[in-house]
A and B are shown apart, each in its own frame.
Chain A
Amino acid sequence: QKEVEQDPGPLSVPEGAIVSLNCTYSNSAFQYFMWYRQYSRKGPELLMYTYSSGNKEDGRFTAQVDKSSKYISLFIRDSQPSDSATYLCAMITGGSEKLVFGKGTKLTVNP
């Protein structure tokens, strides 16, 4: 079993839709969870950073962590064409430098 599983998509939605992106993981020691957005030919850009379980909201983005289910989600409300990108989940244990990434979900928001 891979440490982090992420559905690669692709996912195509109409503008204004609510988007749900998810990752599951197997290592219960993961404590810090991140979502990165990566546009074509650019580097990953940090979107959300959360510690342990719970929700975090930033504008149209909400990150959820459920450690009991080993499941994290990113919700995008009122999606825009500019949200079209690949979204990478990432996680790490405390005291480690080895960030473990999902393989990314490619999202297209159609005008």
Chain B
Amino acid sequence: DAGITQSPRYKITETGRQVTLMCHQTWSHSYMFWYRQDLGHGLRLIYYSAAADITDKGEVPDGYVVSRSKTENFPLTLESATRSQTSVYFCASRSSNQPQHFGDGTRLSIL
């Protein structure tokens, strides 16, 4: 029962670089989500997707890009990383009428 797998678990990069965080789920859930978790702010929704090729903005989408060509994958790209995007990123998924289940996160540091 693999559930949700996020990769990499840790990433260090420099400002201005592009970085992609991967999320893969084995449940065939239709909905997938990306959050960031920061001290003082808690969990904040970046983007979500209701199905393949359907995505929508959350609370803090600026500076991020998502795609969903396959149901099981939902990558998050920072096109030009900034220090303010240093955070822990969580992917989640759910099926219809069920709560969200989370992966174990990617710790991203931008120097």
Residue positions of A touching B, CB distance < 8 A: 32, 34, 36, 41-46, 49, 88, 97-99, 101-104
| B45 close to A (CB within 8 Å) | yes
Interfacial residues of chain B within 37-62, with CB under 8 A of chain A in the complex: 40-43, 45, 48, 50, 56, 58-59
Is B31 a contact partner of A97 (Cβ separation < 8 A)? yes
Residue positions of B touching A, CB distance < 8 A: 4, 31, 33, 40-43, 45, 48, 50, 56, 58-59, 90, 92, 99-105, 107
Contact of B90 among A43, A49, A103, A104 (CB under 8 A): A43
**In the bound complex, CA of A41 to CA of B100 (Å):** 18
**In the bound complex, CA of A104 to CA of B35 (Å):** 15
| Smallest beta-carbon distance B1→chain A, Å | 14
Q: Which 9 A-B pairs have the closest CB atoms?
A: A43-B102, A103-B42, A101-B43, A43-B104, A44-B102, A49-B99, A101-B42, A43-B103, A97-B48
Closest to A32 in B: B99
**In the bound complex, CA of A46 to CA of B92 (Å):** 11
Closest to B102 in A: A43
Is B45 a contact partner of A99 (Cβ separation < 8 A)? yes
Closest to B49 in A: A97
Chain B residues with CB under 8 A of A99? 33, 45, 100
Interface centre among B48, B50, B102, B103, by most chain A C-beta atoms within 10 angstroms, is B102
Is A44 a contact partner of B45 (Cβ separation < 8 A)? no
Closest to B56 in A: A97
| Smallest beta-carbon distance A73→chain B, Å | 18
| Smallest beta-carbon distance B23→chain A, Å | 11
Other A-B pairs beyond A36-B102, A41-B107, 8, CB < 8 Å: A34-B99, A42-B105, A43-B90, A88-B42, A88-B43, A97-B50, A98-B59, A99-B45
Contact of A45 among B33, B42, B102 (CB under 8 A): B102
Is B42 a contact partner of A44 (Cβ separation < 8 A)? no
| Smallest beta-carbon distance B97→chain A, Å | 9
In the complex, 20 of the A-B residue pairs with CB atoms within 8 angstroms, ordered by the A residue number, are: A42-B105, A43-B4, A43-B102, A43-B104, A43-B105, A44-B102, A46-B101, A88-B42, A88-B43, A97-B31, A97-B33, A97-B48, A97-B56, A98-B45, A98-B58, A99-B45, A99-B100, A101-B42, A103-B41, A103-B42
